[in-house]
Structure 1
């Protein structure tokens, strides 16, 4: 009888965990999407009018971020660094601690437990991919 309870407990505990070997990384955001590019949005901010955020992702796993606290601080924060992908290949973790879920044309900022932020402003924790920025512009031909 005691062995039966141990078996049941192991089955219950094991059912909630995904086997790492079964994660399909061939269809992940990392391998199937054009994730490189510039993303922009305004995140909610309890002590300002919003955090205007521009995030550029480039190969190999590099980022540049610019944030401005709207309505309070005219001095933007500018930083850069590296990021890593989680095991699923759908989430990136910036070396400064921010966590984003990657989609084809936008990113969602996640909480520290890798979950979407909930509440009335949930949809505002998103930065959308924008065209044309972040691309190098060639200098005009000198004549």
Structure 2
């Protein structure tokens, strides 16, 4: 019985994420891409025609978000706050709880386990970087 617990412990704790190395962090999105900017897309919405979303990421770790529930709510939401990078330097967590994977031209909305949302609409959980716009919604 002790051996079973030992094996189970090794499997559960040994298969977790490894701590990023200095090289991993140096090559992370946080350090290698121009993540600052304006991103836009329309997320799926079960109770509306879509969630039109614009996010502006500003240094050092600020964001402004603007959302409109298409087809149901004429009153847009605008919020602002701070975000943190996860330990890999590739994911940001907004202070309001949203989690995004940061890529050179996109942000992907992630689930609570920091994983990409899968299924037929998986590409709709992405906002694309809008080139040439500085502080579009921050003005």
Please indicate the TM-score interval, normalised by the length of the shorter structure.
0.7 to 0.9
1:75 matched to 2:65: no
SS in 2 for 1:56: strand
- Contiguous gaps of at least 5 residues in structure 1: 137-143
C-alpha change, 1:74 and 1:16, in structure 2 (3 Å) is: same
Partners of 1:26 and 1:82 in 2: how far apart? Answer: 22
Report the TM-score when normalising by structure 1: 0.85
Q: Distance in 2 between matches of 1:40 and 1:21?
A: 30
Which secondary structure state, in structure 2, belongs to the residue aligned with residue 45 of structure 1? coil
Q: Which piece of structure 1 moves more, 17-26 or 37-46?
A: 17-26
1:42-88 C-alpha deviation (Å, 9 max, x unpaired): 00001111000000000010000000000111111000000000000
Structure-1 separation of matches of 2:82 and 2:70:
26
TM-score (ref. length: structure 2): 0.87
State the Cα RMSD in Å.
Answer: 2.0
Partner residue of 1:12?
11
Contact 2:86 2:92 in 1 (8 A): yes
Which protein has the larger Cα radius of gyration, Structure 1 or Structure 2? Answer: 1
Where do 4+ consecutive residues of structure 1 move more than 3 Å?
4-11
